[in-house]
Amino acid sequence: MNSDFPEYLDAARHGQIEAIAIPFARRLRGLLEAMMKLKSKYRALLPGACTTGLVILFFVTSGLRGADTLPSQIADDAYWKLIDGASEPTGEFPSENFTSNENGFQKILPDLLNAAKQGGVYLGVGPEQNFTYIAALHPKIVFIVDIRRQNLLQHMFYKAAFELAENRADFISVIFARKRPAGLTDKSTIDELLIAYDRIQPDDATYTKNLAAMMDLLLNKHKFGISANDQALLEHIYEVFTYYGPQLNYGSTYPPNLRGGNGGGGGGANFSTVMTATDPSGVERGFLASEENYRVLRELEGKNLLIPIVGDFGGPKALRAVGQYLKDHGAVVTAYYTSNVEQYLFNPTGRGGRVINGGTTNFYENVGTLPLDSSSVFIRSGVPNQLGGGRGGGGNGMNNSQIAPIQATVNAYKADKIQIYNDIFFIRN
């Protein structure tokens, strides 16, 4: 049995509890049966041997149980029940956020990989910028919590595209309703892919075929409870993606406005610039930079392990429901991408008085209910306001990102060490 013990430890590290408990119990039984056949003077060792075996089995299988109780796949009905049960009513936000406006979001990837554990739990907000962090961290499960129901539908749109497209070139073809150009392969760079698609126009036949395939997959194959209004929102999302193609940006609108619909709020960023962004070494590490990265997302989506939820960061339900689910499965949050949402939370009325949210106190109380450890980190966009600023102050700086310890931030807020938005940028373990 001793010679097999490293095998059990290795299985435990990979979360294979059954692979430990059943063989271990069989080996223990065999040992005890052998001892029963020995002379009576050795039988006195039986109680101690039994106790020792059970203690070893307990310690091997407990403490390592954590994330291994997370499902390897979620059934369609359970997936939609989880989304529906955890979601809050849709909220308000000044823009539709079709794509990220953070060209510098990959700059923190080396620090993120040094600080955060791989194979854990990822939380996020917003659209596709999450995918690049997910490709880097290889989480077992993902929750995207956003105040807008349209963001949930955009993730349904992406889910359908991932499931329909076996590779990156086909994925771009699906989301932008453009026929796949000749000459693209799995070895094509993301720059080559986007340049090729930017040169061609969408066509109605491809749009109609793809939309029908998406709806069929979501409604008939998965049987998700997507309402008629949800379907209209999903179609609107696809119209915007089709119209702008790789030039889609944060402020894109459809029908186009007087400025062409592709201005405002993007900060010079669009789908192409975000997808071709680099880490500090100049390496493109986006989710479409390689087939390997793409497969990380496609596998999660195919197993219903990327779960979009409608929820206000300061709301009463969504984040707490996520936290309870993770606690029920013994899991710990690895990373939580918040973009610059905290900036809005420090202002009770939000930018221009148009954003309604629960505020910082509710948010940090919600985060405090999540299962955390010392390595759990926030991923933020923004920089401190050089002028200081009061509640609601703080710079945008969307080309700058940072990581920060979650538990230390929650503790600092409880201790009144965080009074204004600027303060969150100076919290350390």
> Rounded distance, CA 313 to CA 153, Å?
18
SS (H, E, C) the chain: CHHHHHHHHHHHHCCCHHHHHHHHHHHHHHHHHHHHCCCHHHHCCHHHHHHHHHHHHHHHHCCCCHHHHCCCCCCHHHHHHHHHHHCCCCCCCCCCCCCCCCCCHHHHHHHHHHHCCCCCEEEECCCCHHHHHHHHHCCCEEEEEECCHHHHHHHHHHHHHHHHCCCHHHHHHHHHCCCCCCCCCCCCCHHHHHHHHHCCCCCHHHHHHHHHHHHHHHHHHCCCCCCHHHHHHHHHHHHHHHHHHHHCCCCCCCCCCCCCCCCCCCCCCCHHHHHCCCCCCCCCCCCCCCHHHHHHHHHHHHCCCEEEEECCCCCCCHHHHHHHHHHHCCCCEEEEEEECHHHHHCCCCCHHHCCCCCHHHHHHHHHHCCCCCCCCEEEEECCCCCCCCCCCCCCCCCCCEEEEEHHHHHHHHHCCCCCCHHHHHHCCC
**Bridge partners for 336 per DSSP:** 123, 378
Query: What pLDDT does 358 receive?
Result: 58
pLDDT digit string (tens) for the chain, length 429 residues: 444 434 444 444 444 444 444 444 455 555 545 555 554 554 555 555 555 555 444 444 444 444 459 999 999 999 999 999 999 999 887 778 888 988 889 999 999 999 999 999 999 999 999 999 999 999 999 999 999 999 999 999 999 999 999 999 999 999 999 999 999 999 999 999 999 999 999 999 999 999 999 999 999 999 999 999 999 999 999 999 999 999 999 888 887 764 445 554 456 889 999 999 999 999 999 999 999 999 999 999 999 999 999 999 999 999 999 999 999 999 999 999 999 999 888 865 544 444 445 589 999 999 999 999 999 999 999 877 655 444 444 444 556 889 999 999 999 999 999 988 899 999 987
Q: Residues 413, 373: contact at Cβ < 8 Å?
A: no
Query: What pLDDT does 57 receive?
Result: 45
Q: Where are the domains of the chain?
A: 2-64, 69-426
What is this structure's pTM?
A: 0.82
224's torsion region: left (phi>0), alpha (psi -120 to 50) or beta? beta
Query: What pLDDT does 229 receive?
Result: 97
Query: What pLDDT does 3 receive?
Result: 43
Query: What pLDDT does 211 receive?
Result: 98
